[in-house]
Amino acid sequence: MDIKVILLTIGASFLLAVLLGPLFIPLLRRMKFGQQIRTDGPQSHLKKQGTPTMGGIIIMLALLLAFLKFADKTNDFWVLLVASLGFGLVGFLDDYIKIVFKRSLGLTAKQKLAGQLLFSIVVCILLHRMGHSTAIGVPGTDWSFDLGWFYYLFVVIIMFATSNSVNFTDGLDGLLAGTSAIAFGAFTILALSVNEYESVVFSAAMVGAVLGFLVFNAHPAKVFMGDAGSLGIGGGLAAVAMLTKMELVLIIVGGVFVFEMLSVIIQVTSFKLRGKRVFKMSPIHHHFELSGWSEWRVVTTFWIVGFILAAIGLVVGKAF
C-alpha cells in the first residue's frame, strides 16, 4: 500500500475536523449543549460547566468522509463502519438525552447495553458471512487456538470492554483524543504489516480526526467529545483489532484504556466488599488529579505511557 495514501487520509481527516470545529462548536453552544460537571469530582473541573459537548460528531464526520474517500467498499469496510458509527450512535443518544431532557445519566444502563449489543451482533453477522477466522493468535508467538462459535461471544466481549474502557478514559482535556491517536497510529502500522487495507485507511482516518479534534479539545478545552465520540472510537478500535487478528495485542496497545477500566472495577468491588476505596477517585486519572497533579501533567503522562505501550504492541505484533 502506498504510504502517500496513508498520509493523505490522515491529512484529509485532520483538515476536515479542523474545519468542522468552528462550525459545530458555536452551534452546540447556541443549542446549550453544555457539559454537566460532577460535583463530587475535582473542584478544578467546576469551571468547565457549560463547555459544549457532543463534539464527537466532529470526529465521526471527519472520519466518515475521509474513510469514504480513500477506502474500498469491501466487507471489512462495512464492519468498521457499523462498529464505529453504530456505537457512536448509541453514545449520541446518551449525550442527547442527558442534555435535552436534563437526565444526568442519559440512557439507562440497560438501554445503553442493548444498543451496544445490537451493533455487536450486527458485526458478528458480518464477520461470519465474510468467513472471518475464529482463531486467536497469542501475541509474540506463532501459537493460535480456534474458538469456533465461541469467537462471536468473544467479539461481543471485546466490543463491550473496549468501548466502555475508552469511554472511562474521556475525563480530562485532550486525554482520550491523544491516547486514541496513539493507539490508532499503532494499529495503522499493524494493519499495514498484515495487508489489511481497509483497517489501514480507517485507522489513519481516525488518527487525523482525533488529532484535528484535539486542536479544540486540548487544555483548556473549547469542546468535549462526549459519548458520541468515545463510544465510536472504542467500537472502531475493537473492529480494527479483530480484522487484523490482533485481538490480544489490543490489550497492550490499548493498555491505558485497560488501566482506566480496571481502576473502576477495583474501586467499585473494594467499596462493595470492604466499604473502602482503593483510589481517591476513579477512573484512575482523577486519582492523580486529587493527589495534586495538574491536569496537563496527568494527560501528558498518560500520553507517554500510551506511546510506550504502543511501541511494545508493535514489537509483539511483529510489525517490525
Binding residues: 167, 227
Q: Is the omega angle on the peptide bond into residue 22 within 30 degrees of 0, that is, cis?
A: no
- What single-letter amino acid sits at 28? L
Q: Which residues are annotated as a binding site for Mg(2+)?
A: 167, 227
Q: Which residue has the cell 489501514?
A: 200
d(CA 296, CA 289): 10
Contacts of 277 (CB under 8 A, 6+ apart): 267, 270, 271
Name beta bridge partners: 144: 137
| Of 160, 177, 171, the residue nearest 235 (C-alpha) | 160
CA distance to 78, 82, 86, 316, per residue, from 119 (Å): 12, 7, 6, 30
Question: What angle is formed at CA 220 by the lines to CA 291 and CA 307, rounded to 5 degrees?
Answer: 65
d(CA 213, CA 230): 12
Contacts of 207 (CB under 8 A, 6+ apart): 10, 13, 181, 184, 185, 188
d(CA 37, CA 4): 42
The answer to whether the beta carbons of residues 44 and 86 sit under 8 Å apart is no
Q: Please spell the DSSP secondary structure of 274-287, one letter per residue.
A: HS--SSSSSSHHHH
